Amino acid sequence: MFHKIFVLSLGIFALTGCDAQKKIKTDKQTPPIMTDTKATKSDGQKEGIIYFTEGENKFLKAYQMNVTFKGISEDSRCPEGVNCIWAGVAVAQIQVMGTATRPMTLELASMDHPARNYHQSADFNGYTISLQEVTPYPKSEGGTAALTGKYKIGISVKKAEGSSDTTTK
């Protein structure tokens, strides 16, 4: 009998401790998310463009969505100082997730070219997300291999015009 009471009380203490840890973790995580979005707006960067470094994740409170810049899946842009037939394109993989939706990966290109399935914008959760900038530009010496992990992008988010489907590409 004593053994059962002891095990039961140990279980109650363990559950109480887990709940207290969850409250502490959520309290500690809230301020960085808020300050991160404020820092984006006060950096003196271009109006309406949100910048990400490769692998960076931000919660955009105004749009109630979480955005992660996964990386560049293709960069065929013509390197500086080289004459090319085609200017090329960079394709960024961006994972978006609304507060009530599952994550979705969008592939946004630096230019529209529907024949090659390159789209600069995509609709998600009633908003149109557009790729505005991809930096740095490839150089003839190192090419795109030297840029892995160093990419930065700028996106804009606007209310979608007349979109009824919430997750269309």
Summarize pLDDT for 54-100 with one digit per residue, the tens.
999 999 999 999 999 999 998 888 888 888 888 889 999 999 999 88
pLDDT at residue number 144: 62
pTM over 0.85: no
Among all chains, which residue has been given the structure tokens 């560049």? 72
- Residue labelled with tokens 């919430």: 166
Helix (H, G, I), strand (E, B), or coil: what is residue 24? helix
* pLDDT, position 130: 95
Report the alpha-carbon distance of residue 103 to residue 132 in Å, rounded: 22
User: Which is more confident, 156 or 148?
Assistant: 156
Count CB-CB contacts under 10 A for residue 90.
25
Task: Determine the Cα–Cα distance for residues 154 and 56; give it in Å rounded to an integer.
Answer: 12
Neighbours of 72 (CB within 10 A): 20
Domain residue extents for the chain: 50-159
19 pLDDT exceeds 70?
Answer: no
What is the rounded CA–CA span in Å between residue 125 and residue 156?
14
Q: Are 97 and 35 in contact (CB under 8 A)?
A: no
